[in-house]
Amino acid sequence: MQFQCFAAGVLLCLVLCGRLPQLQIWQRFILLTGSLACWFSASRWLHYPFYSAARNPGSWHLIAAYALGSTGSVLIVVAFLGLNPKLIPAWAIYLGRISFGLYVFHLAVLDSVFGIFPNAGRHHVFPYLLKISLALGLTVLAAGLSYRFLETPFLKMKKRHAIIESQPV
């Protein structure tokens, strides 16, 4: 079910044919806003029925949520393709550096936060945004600690043991 993200990436590659999109900053901002709207919609209105034990909403909620998630991911990739690296803030580069930890810890943190506050934001958007913000902060914290204390020592060890083949001059 989750391979649609790979399919979306393949389709994006086929559409772009190796070219980078030439976009203005305002166009990139619109793409980023659209990506966040897709992710928020998928999370807020389509994901919630699955936390209710009272009923099963059926497969259409799940299909639509994954489609919106994939669309949001494609939009954010397109927004950053061909962007001048000097325009990328340091915090975004840091998130890229700890991205493996973000991937590893996000589901555990989301499940924990949603388990501790199961009904917060069920009927109002503001408590839901607070809950998602808490989950995001804890995920970044866990990924940052993991990068600092687990990944960095292994990366240093890998660098020490890397074999560098000689190149002819």
pLDDT tens digit sequence for 123-148: 777 888 888 899 999 999 999 999 99
C-alpha span between 5 and 2 (Å, rounded): 6
Tell me: do 62 and 106 sit in the same domain: no
Final residue belonging to a domain, choices 38, 67, 84: 84
Domain span at residue 104 reads 89-160
Domain count, the chain: 2
Q: Which residue has the tokens 């915090």?
A: 91
Tell me: do 1 and 76 sit in the same domain: yes
pLDDT score of 62: 79
3-class DSSP state of 30? helix
Confidence of residue 56 (pLDDT cuts 50, 70, 90): low
- Over the chain, what is the mean pLDDT? 86
128: closest CA among 141, 142, 118? 118
8: closest CA among 82, 66, 95? 66
Tell me: do 11 and 75 sit in the same domain: yes
Residue 168 lies in a domain: no
Tell me: do 145 and 94 sit in the same domain: yes
pLDDT score of 168: 66
Residue 6 lies in a domain: yes
Residue 126 lies in a domain: yes
Residue 165 lies in a domain: no
Statement: the pTM of the whole predicted model exceeds 0.75: no
